[in-house]
Amino acid sequence: MPSTCFTAPASCSTTPPPAMGLVKFLGVAALLLAAPFISAKQVDVHDPVMAREGDTWYLFSTGPGITIYSSKDRVNWAFSDRAFATEPTWAKSVAPGFNGHLWAPDIIQHNNQFYLYYSVSAFGKNTSAIGVTVNKTLNPKSPDYRWEDKGIVIQSVPNRDMWNAIDPAIIVDEQGAAWMSFGSFWSGLKIFKLNDDWTRPAEPQEWHSIAKRDQVPADISSSAGPGEIEAPFIFKKNEYYYLFASWGLCCKGANSTYHLVVGRSKSATGPYLDKNGKDMNNGGGSLLIKGNKNWVGLGHNGAYSWDGKDYLVLHAYETADKYLQKLKILNIRWDKEGWPVVDEKELDSYKSKRLK
């Protein structure tokens, strides 16, 4: 039996006292064995997206200044930085109700720089804008590490625009042109072509509608319409572009109805059709994953290929933890018709660990 010491060092013995000492010894041993499980908190994030630089993955999510974590194995995550120490200088001029949380980022590498797109808004309003900040590296220990904000890419204005400038995601087409998909509620999801430096719309501007749900009212309104759709993410696989979208309501705990649907097209600009051939512009969308009693309100995904395998990155609310949002990374498989498939059981089997 190992040496134990329950009082002062001078009274230590290699054998604990027969009764109370044994109880204390077993209690300490149990605590030591349980410690890793008690301290291993999962990463709680909304709207996660990821990028890889060298042997490290970086995770970006909604939060003050955009929260950034890093990992060597996509399981153990450590806090890395915030993209903004406070907030963009222009934020409150766009959204007076802005609360300091930057929403729904997307991260992509281009021309030896990382482009981090983000949203400024207020809940349920289209007083919104999408901005972009750039950095040569994601490693905060590098002398080249410095985020440089490039300002507003697009902005939506109430009573002028029937779309909402949040939830950006970038896809590069087969010709090398970059397109930004975006949108939430109102008239649905849009996509437009970016200029050569990926900071503004290309001129002349080219815009397309790619998905919506309910009939959009004829009048221009500052209130969100009934069509519960947002968070587009386009992923290229073989001959198709796959459009993932989140349907339902997020951020309502047990009453959250968020879930993921998908459609596909042979063009980045659509039309995107579901498995039944229904256009996502007409309410189409095939269910990808809806969750279960343990995990609700799941969605706002990214999709990636690493080392020859495809992955779905999303958040889900854990019922057992008062519906706190958690990071999930699921394997994407492809059926014989070329549609993405994920295993609901991996919501339970994948557990991130927040190191600090």
Residues taking part in catalysis: 47, 230
CA angle 210, 48, 247 (to 5 degrees): 40
Q: Name the nearest CA neighbour of 233 among 174, 186, 183, 199.
A: 183
> Please, is 310 exposed, middle or buried when counting C-beta atoms within 10 Å of its C-beta (0-12, 13-18, 19+)?
middle
Cβ atoms of 229 and 242 within 8 Å: the answer is no
Cβ atoms of 191 and 208 within 8 Å: the answer is yes
Element (H, E) at 39: helix 20-39
Mode of pairing for the β-strands spanning 76-82 and 353-354: parallel
> Please, is 87 exposed, middle or buried when counting C-beta atoms within 10 Å of its C-beta (0-12, 13-18, 19+)?
middle
Question: Which residues are registered as beta bridge partners of 71?
Answer: 57
Cα distance between residue 263 and residue 252, in whole Å: 26
How many residues make up the chain in this entry?
Answer: 356
Give the number of other Cβ atoms within 10 Å of residue 237's Cβ: 15
Cα distance between residue 18 and residue 265, in whole Å: 74
CA angle 157, 161, 162 (to 5 degrees): 130
Q: What does the block give as tokens for 124?
A: 């349920």
Q: What does the block give as tokens for 3?
A: 């040496």
Can you point out the beta strands (E) in 54-112? 56-61, 63-64, 67-71, 76-82, 101-110
Element (H, E) at 116: strand 113-120
Cα distance between residue 106 and residue 50, in whole Å: 8
